[in-house]
Structure formats: C-alpha cells, structure tokens
C-alpha cells in the first residue's frame, strides 16, 4: 500500500479544528457546546447579500474570470478608497477566501526554503500554508505581558537571514486582537525597505478597530511595490461560507505571477462573488450595527473574563479574538477535558488551545484563543461554564 | 523592489487562457468570437440547482465543514453507486472544484521532487498544479495516429524511476476525448500494484461516454488503497462557476492527510454545495438530455472538422474535447492570428494551441484542442470561419 507524502504526514492539524471530533461527540450526547474556538460570526449576512441569491437570473452558473467579476473589483476600489487606499480594479484579484490569497502570496513571493517572518502567536493556518508552499516561518514573539505589541526592531533584525523574503503581518491581529499603530507600521516600513522585503499584510479585520485610533493599511505606507494585502468579505459581512477573498497589490510583477496560479484553478466561486458584490452597497448601517455589537461584546467579554480567578486577557483593540492565559499548565489538555469530561448544567465550552499558534516550543501552553462571536448572554453563560470548569479541573 | 519567486516566474501561463487578452480586444472591436478554446458549457444548469438558490433560508452564510456538507456527501454515495462504486460519505471530501482536488492529491501523495507519470497531451493545469506542489511530471506520449490510446506498458516502465509515486489518469480524457477501456485499465492496475504506486484518476467527464462501452472507474479495479478519484459537478451540471469538486478515496491515510490541508483552507464554497446537492436529485432527464446534446454535437463536429482540407481529428469517445491537427506549422501563431488579424463576416474563432498540453518540446505544435460546447449551428459557423482562416493564413 503506497504511503502519503512525508510533507502531508508532517502537516499540522488545525489547532482550531483538531478538537472538533470531541465537540461532535459531546453534542451527540446532548451537551450544549459554546463555541469560542472559531471565528464563525453568528451575526446575519446583509439582506442585500441574501437577496442577491434570489435575484440570480442567469441560466448557466458559468466560470467567472480568473481574477474575479469586473464589477465586483470596480466596487471594491470605492470600498478601499474609504480607507485612503487608491486602487484600480486591475490591482485586485478575487480569491477563494482570504485563505487562497495567503497561499498564493507565499507561492508568488517566496521560493521553497525561503523565509518569512511572522509574529507569534500567529494565525495557525499561516503555518499550514507556509508548509504547503515549502517556505520557512521564522517568528518573533509578542507577549501577553506586553499586550502583544510590535516586538523591537532588534528582534526582527535578529530573525532576518539571507533567505528572508517577506514579513507577514496580521492587523488587526488574529489571534491576539492587537491593532498596530502608525508608529509601529513606520518601523515595519523602514525595515521592509532596508532589507528589500515584501510586506504581506492580512487586513481582513480592518473594520473592527475599537479604540478610536484610525486603522492604518500597509497600502498607505508609500511602499507600494513591497506590499501585498490579504483581504476577505468573510467576517466583515458574516459570509464566511461564500469563500470570497482578495489579494491586492500595486506590484505588477507580483500581480501577474499570482494570476498564473489563478488561471490554473480557473475561477473563484461565482455565487459568492454575487453575494459579496451586493454586500458592498447600501450596507453602511449594517456595518455600523455589527461594529457596535462586536464592540459591546468585547467590552463585556474581556472584563468578565478577567474577573475569573487566575485568568488574564489584555484588552484587544480590534478583530473579535483574544488570547487569554488560564490557571492551568496544559491548555490543550484542559480544552479537551472540557469537551470529553466536563458538563455544567448540561453545557460545556470549546476554546482553541494556543500552543498551536506559536512556533517556539513551549510557548502559549497555558493560553487559549477565544472568539467573542456569540451573543452577550451566551458569552456570559460560556464564561460561567469556563469558571466552573477551571475550578473542577484544578480540583480533580 | 523585491522580485517574485523564481517558481512563480517559471510558472507556465495557461494555454487555454493565455490568448484571452486578444479575444477581449477582438470583442471590444465588435468581432464575434466563437469560443472553442475553453470547456465552458453553454447548456443550462439544472433548474433544481438554480431553485436551490431561491430556497436559501439561512440568515448567515456560514462555513461548511472542511470536508463538505454531510447531506451532499451522503447523496453522492447514491450517485456513485450507479457506477458500481461503493462508498461511505466519509470517503468523499468536497473540494473547491476538481482543481483543488488535483492539487491536494499531489500534496498528500507526493513529496517535492517526487515524480508522477501522466499521459501527454494532458490537461495543462495538471502541470501547473504539479509545479505548485513541487513535483515532477514525467510523460508517456499518446499519439493522434493511434487515436490517443493507452501507450504500451513498456513506455510506462521506461518512465518509472525510484522517485515515481503515482500515475495520473484522465478518463474520459481531457484534451483528447479518449475513453480508456477495461483492458487498458487492467494493464494500468497491474503496473500500479507492481510498483506500489498511487493511481490518481480524474473522472470528471464520466457521464459523457458516447460509444456504448460502459465507463470503468478506477474505484472499481479492486485496488482501493491505491486509488484517488478526482471529480467535479462543473461539467456534469453546467455549473462550473459553483466550484464544487470531490476527492474520493478508500485510503484512510490519504483521506486524513488531505483533510489537514482542507482544514487549513477552512471550507469549500457553501452556496455551490447547495446547488450541487440539489442538482443530484431528480435530474435524470436533464442528464440524458445533456448527453444526447453533446453526442449530437460530437457527431456533427468531428465529421465536419475532418472535411476541412488538411485537418484531422480522431473520433473522441467521451468528454467534449478533441485534439485536431491543422495544416499549419505553428498552431499557437495561427490561433493568435485568428484573434488579432483574421475576420470572416465580422467573426473569428478561438482555439487552445496544443503545445502547452505536451511536456516533450516540439510535440503538438500543429495541434489545437477544441471544445464542442456550442450549439450545432454555432459549431457549424465556427468551422466555416476556421476553414476560411486556414486558407487565408496559408495564403498570406
């Protein structure tokens, strides 16, 4: 019997989804599971987007162009203009979710064995896509004590080698919720220019910045040829399932290289593009309501979380995640135990153990990533369950 | 300015889509272009599939499971049973089109530098996905003189090295339309077992087999652990844009390895899955009508094509493509010239030059791939244009 590839066997399981079978088993046993593990928003998709499905009149659901529907790309230029980002439709490539945009940026900018510098903890799937592309992720560590702010330039410089080709930024950050300020971005800019690197900036949570500081896109730093922005409509419009993302760059060579990969996979999803395009127009009120809802959840959730004995979370400035430290030694064991052994009033809670978001062995073992994508009353119940679980776990 | 990766720069342009800018320019100049270059069916999507969009009642278009919606996978087991293929839903992974299934099978079965044997001419994007995965495509050549039948086992044996991990089959074949018979599949089976290889079998055109010989799936050869089948609803239901494919295997290790890649990209397109699921039921009449239509087109098209002086095409047994030789030295130059310089009654024709479907330099230079996915009257007009173009080109 032939064996799978070594790279496939070594591919890490998703720390977000690896506990999923235990959650399924718990639910099958009638237990209610509060999902704090995954960024699946519970808010509705904009009605305009849902209506677009009802309005489909085409008789054949044909391929769209490899770079996406022109009218969608045109409307996106107006969207980006609101953030001070000036683009032509030819600088936007529609991808199958932000996920594909990440992989394509890696393939187009780095050769196998080349290195990219990311901040840890980082979105775990960055590491999976890096493995897929055969590139090496070097990390500089952000710390919970420091609120996950940008590490020193010295730390970056120490990580740079002759194989370094890019810096990977997630801003607002997944999993920490940290929002990088203008001064931090200036520091990154200088480093990127000094070492002639790409800056791959994942800005899918751009709309969710809560502290009144304006969001700064990497595309406004004045280093156009260096920047590739990853984007997605998934979280912005609560339409994760439509799989529509974007890869945005002023760098023509990178654009044209990415397009060769896009042509090979023929086209991004047609129906998702129709929903995304409709979601872009007349949804200012929707966006404002989502923003207020997430902000209220954040304010409630982080305060309540910090009231649980032994638990600490910084106040995240954006996105809808936080990384919290728990009074346990091995958060993965605790998270699994919550699903397999613990019930409180017939309920339990699911979180993503954070070790899988770090590259440096041993870091984050007592941390979890939590997404506040539930209603406040459910968040409150989830935290009651968490508090009871911590007590029971530590008194086993 | 940082440069794109070497692998990206060396990625081939799609031979199907590389002439697209010339077609766009011709259309902008008011010229009607008959598209024989791309397998974009003009037949309607089943009404059941379109109705599924109108029937969407969910308020949030959320992620689907990484391996696809369970009810879709369940219905697919009944579909496959009609072809004698016995599967459980856990042996089917829903992918973002057949395209993603191809890439994932390469990643999960082969390491960088490993070799896969394909028959040339082959679907050009196989080569793109192989480059993406860093694997090496070795080819054995099928010839137009031999009707593109299976090469001798000696030819395969000569191509096998210690790095060979898999054989890649496209059956019915894209681009040649050849359908491999039971005896040929037995020969492949023996070779696969003898060398302990994977057999990756792309069977997306399974329903389009015209010569009364039953289609034989690689999944019915009795070598379960060796076989990965690539599938897609794109052509079957004229819904290429929904991006729903499948990777099917009894090999649990391969399944679980593929799933790690699937978890990284989170989920296949939700809306496409709803359309695909609806398209699976109550569409026997639809499928029969499509089949008859393609068969009639094939019969008309191949006969008419062979009446053009100097043109030759074998009679393809399946799919909706053929590879034809033209009385020109450089088919790519001719195809480009048709778009840039030639007009006949204000019309021209677009074909895919075949050299890009071969790996061996120099092969296929006088060949084109043509898809008969237009109405017969349009096919007739397209061939009139082609005949006039050949005369004009050779009398320049």
Helix or strand (DSSP H, E) at A94: strand A92-95
Topology annotation, domain A62-279: 3.40.640
Report in angstroms the alpha-carbon separations of A25 from A96, A216, A340. Answer: 31, 43, 8
CATH number given to B6-44+285-394: 3.90.1150.10
Distance, in Å, from the CA atom of A351 to the CA atom of A311, rounded to the nearest integer, reads: 14
Read out DSSP for A140-205? EE--TTTTTPPPPHHHHHHH--TTEEEEEEESS-TTT-----HHHHHHHHHHHHHTT-EEEEE-TT
Instruction: Output the CA angle B301-B302-B305, nearest 5 degrees.
Output: 80
How high is the pLDDT of residue B267? Answer: 95
Helix or strand (DSSP H, E) at A62: none
- Does domain B61-279 fall under CATH 3.60.15.10? My reply is no
- The partner residues of B347 in beta bridges, in order of sequence, read B32, B344
With contact defined as beta carbons under 8 Å apart, do A325 and A311 qualify? yes
Instruction: Give the contacts of B8 (CB within 8 A, at least 6 positions apart).
Output: A107, A108, A109, A257, A258, A260, A261
Run means of pLDDT, 10 residues per run, chain B, 396 residues: 95 81 94 91 94 96 96 98 96 98 98 98 94 97 96 96 98 97 96 97 96 91 97 96 98 97 96 98 94 96 98 97 97 97 97 93 96 95 98 96
Of A114, A165, A243, the CB nearest to B96: A243
Cβ–Cβ contact A40 with B under 8 A = yes
With contact defined as beta carbons under 8 Å apart, do B200 and B123 qualify? no
Cβ–Cβ contact B241 with A under 8 A = yes
Backbone φ, ψ for residue B322 (5° rounding): -145, 155
Report in angstroms the alpha-carbon separations of A207 from A296, B143, B170, B215. Answer: 15, 57, 45, 52
Q: For residue B395, give how far its alpha carbon lies from the nearest alpha carbon of chain A (Å).
A: 35
Using DSSP, state whether A92 is helix, strand or coil.
strand
With contact defined as beta carbons under 8 Å apart, do A283 and A237 qualify? yes
Cβ–Cβ contact B55 with A under 8 A = no
pLDDT digits (tens, 9 = 90+) for B128-155: 999 999 999 999 999 999 999 999 999 9
B50/A43 CB distance under 8 A: no
With contact defined as beta carbons under 8 Å apart, do A80 and A87 qualify? yes
- The partner residues of A62 in beta bridges, in order of sequence, read none
Instruction: Output the CA angle B227-B232-B235, nearest 5 degrees.
Output: 135
How high is the pLDDT of residue A224? Answer: 94
How high is the pLDDT of residue A16? Answer: 73
Using DSSP, state whether A137 is helix, strand or coil.
strand
Question: For a pLDDT cut of 70, what percent of chain A falls above it?
Answer: 100
Using DSSP, state whether A246 is helix, strand or coil.
strand
pLDDT digits (tens, 9 = 90+) for A163-218: 999 999 999 999 999 999 999 999 999 999 999 999 999 999 999 999 887 899 99
Backbone φ, ψ for residue A328 (5° rounding): -135, 160
Between chain A and chain B, the number of residue pairs with CB atoms below 8 A apart is: 257
Instruction: Give the contacts of B291 (CB within 8 A, at least 6 positions apart).
Output: B207, B208
A13/B263 CB distance under 8 A: yes
Distance, in Å, from the CA atom of A78 to the CA atom of A86, rounded to the nearest integer, reads: 9
Exposed/middle/buried for residue A145 (C-beta within 10 Å: 0-12, 13-18, 19+):
exposed
Q: For residue B160, give how far its alpha carbon lies from the nearest alpha carbon of chain A (Å).
A: 15
Distance, in Å, from the CA atom of B336 to the CA atom of B339, rounded to the nearest integer, reads: 5
With contact defined as beta carbons under 8 Å apart, do A242 and A271 qualify? yes
Cβ–Cβ contact B48 with A under 8 A = no
Of A66, A112, A269, the CB nearest to B269: A269
Of A7, A63, A226, the CB nearest to B40: A63
What is the number of alpha carbons within 13 Å of residue A255 lying toward its C-beta?
A: 17
Q: How far is CA B209 from the centre of its chain?
A: 14
Tell me which of A260, A272, A357 to substitute to probe the interface with B (most B C-beta atoms closer than 10 Å).
Answer: A260
Secondary structure in 3-state letters for chain B? CCCCCHHHHHCCCCCCCCCHHHHHHHHHCCCEEEECCCCCCCCCCCHHHHHHHHCCCCCCCCCCCCCCCHHHHHHHHHHHHCCCCCCCHHHEEEECHHHHHHHHHHHHHCCCCCEEEEEECCCHHHHHHHHHHCCEEEEEECCCCCCCCCCCHHHHHHHCCCCEEEEEEECCCCCCCCCCCHHHHHHHHHHHHHCCCEEEEECCCCCCECCCCCCCCHHHCCCHHHEEEEEECCCCCCCHHHCCEEEEECCHHHHHHHHHHHHHCCCCCHHHHHHHHHHCCCCHHHHHHHHHHHHHHHHHHHHHHHCCCCCECCCCCECCEEEEECCCCCHHHHHHHHHHCCCECCEEEECEECHHHCCCCCCCCCEEEEECCCCHHHHHHHHHHHHHHHHHHHCC
Cβ–Cβ contact A360 with B under 8 A = no
B243/A96 CB distance under 8 A: yes
Distance, in Å, from the CA atom of B260 to the CA atom of A125, rounded to the nearest integer, reads: 10
Tell me which of A1, A3, A4, A59 to substitute to probe the interface with B (most B C-beta atoms closer than 10 Å).
Answer: A4
Of B242, B263, B266, the CB nearest to A61: B242
pLDDT at A39 over 90: no
A59/B50 CB distance under 8 A: yes
- Please report the residues numbered 281 through 300 in chain A whose beta carbons come closer than 8 angstroms to any beta carbon of chain B: none
B374 contact residues in A (CB cutoff 8 A): none
Q: For residue A254, give how far its alpha carbon lies from the nearest alpha carbon of chain B (Å).
A: 6
Q: For residue B373, give how far its alpha carbon lies from the nearest alpha carbon of chain A (Å).
A: 12
With contact defined as beta carbons under 8 Å apart, do A385 and A379 qualify? no
Q: Which residue of A has its CA nearest to B197?
A: A2
Of A110, A125, A239, the CB nearest to B5: A110
- The partner residues of B350 in beta bridges, in order of sequence, read B35
Distance, in Å, from the CA atom of B386 to the CA atom of B311, rounded to the nearest integer, reads: 10
- The partner residues of A141 in beta bridges, in order of sequence, read A120
B43 contact residues in A (CB cutoff 8 A): 60
Cβ–Cβ contact B225 with A under 8 A = yes
Of B41, B45, B108, the CB nearest to A5: B108
Instruction: Output the CA angle A243-A271-B286, nearest 5 degrees.
Output: 125
Domain definitions of chain B by residue range: 6-44+285-394, 61-279
How high is the pLDDT of residue A212? Answer: 82
Cβ–Cβ contact A245 with B under 8 A = no
B199 contact residues in A (CB cutoff 8 A): none
Torsion angle, CA of A111/A113/A118/A124, rounded to 10 degrees? 100
Report in angstroms the alpha-carbon separations of B119 from A145, A211, A314, B37, B201. Answer: 58, 59, 58, 21, 12
With contact defined as beta carbons under 8 Å apart, do B92 and B76 qualify? yes
Backbone φ, ψ for residue B40 (5° rounding): -100, 100
A64/B241 CB distance under 8 A: yes
ipTM of the assembly? Answer: 0.95
**Short-list A237, A127, A217, CA closest to A172:** A217
A2/B197 CB distance under 8 A: yes
**Short-list A239, A207, A259, A276, CA closest to A101:** A259
Handedness of CA A44, B94, B174, B363 (dihedral sign): positive
Distance, in Å, from the CA atom of A67 to the CA atom of A264, rounded to the nearest integer, reads: 11
pLDDT digits (tens, 9 = 90+) for A94-129: 999 999 999 999 999 999 999 999 999 999 999 999
Strands B352-353 and B347-350: unpaired
Of B6, B49, B108, the CB nearest to A8: B108
- The partner residues of A335 in beta bridges, in order of sequence, read none
**Short-list B274, B334, B225, B33, CA closest to A4:** B225
Residue A91: pLDDT band with limits 50, 70, 90: very high
A271/B125 CB distance under 8 A: no
What is the number of alpha carbons within 13 Å of residue B296 lying toward its C-beta?
A: 11
Distance, in Å, from the CA atom of B355 to the CA atom of B365, rounded to the nearest integer, reads: 5
């Amino acid at each position: 019997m032939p064996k799978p590839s070594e790279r496939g066997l070594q591919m890490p399981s998703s720390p977000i989804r690896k506990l999923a079978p235990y959650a399924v088993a718990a639910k099958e046993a009638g237990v209610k599971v509060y999902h704090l593990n995954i960024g699946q928003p519970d808010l509705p998709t904009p009605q305009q987007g849902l209506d677009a499905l009802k309005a489909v009149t085409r008789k054949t659901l044909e391929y769209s162009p490899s770079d996406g529907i022109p009218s969608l790309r045109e409307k996106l230029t107006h969207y980006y203009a609101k953030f001070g980002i000036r683009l032509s439709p030819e600088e936007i490539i529609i991808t199958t979710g932000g996920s594909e945009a990440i992989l394509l940026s890696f393939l187009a900018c780095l050769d196998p064995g080349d290195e990219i510098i990311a901040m840890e903890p980082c979105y775990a799937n960055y590491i999976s896509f890096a493995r897929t592309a055969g590139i090496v992720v070097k990390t500089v560590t952000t710390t919970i004590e420091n609120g996950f702010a940008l590490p020193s330039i010295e730390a970056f410089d120490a990580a740079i080698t002759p194989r370094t080709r890019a810096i990977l930024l997630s801003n607002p950050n997944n999993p920490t919720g940290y929002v990088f300020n203008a001064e931090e971005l200036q520091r990154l800019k200088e480093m990127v220019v000094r070492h002639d690197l790409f800056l791959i900036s994942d800005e899918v949570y751009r709309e969710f910045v809560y502290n009144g500081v304006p969001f700064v896109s990497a595309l406004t730093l004045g280093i156009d040829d260096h920047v590739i922005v990853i984007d997605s409509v998934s979280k912005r419009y609560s339409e994760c399932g439509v799989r529509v993302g974007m890869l945005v760059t002023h760098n023509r060579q990178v654009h044209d290289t990415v397009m060769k990969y896009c042509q090979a996979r023929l086209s991004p999803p047609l129906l998702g593009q129709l929903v995304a395009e409709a979601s872009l127009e007349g949804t200012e009120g929707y966006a404002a309501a989502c923003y207020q809802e997430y902000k209220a959840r954040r304010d409630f959730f982080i305060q309540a979380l910090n009231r649980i004995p032994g638990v600490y979370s910084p106040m995240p400035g954006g996105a809808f995640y936080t990384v919290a430290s728990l009074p346990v030694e091995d958060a993965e064991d605790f998270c699994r135990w919550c699903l397999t052994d613990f019930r409180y009033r017939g309920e339990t809670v699911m979180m993503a153990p954070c070790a899988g978001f770090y590259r440096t062995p041993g870091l984050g073992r007592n941390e979890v990533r939590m997404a506040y994508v539930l209603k406040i009353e459910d968040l409150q119940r989830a935290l009651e369950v968490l508090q009871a679980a911590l007590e029971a776990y530590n008194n086993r």
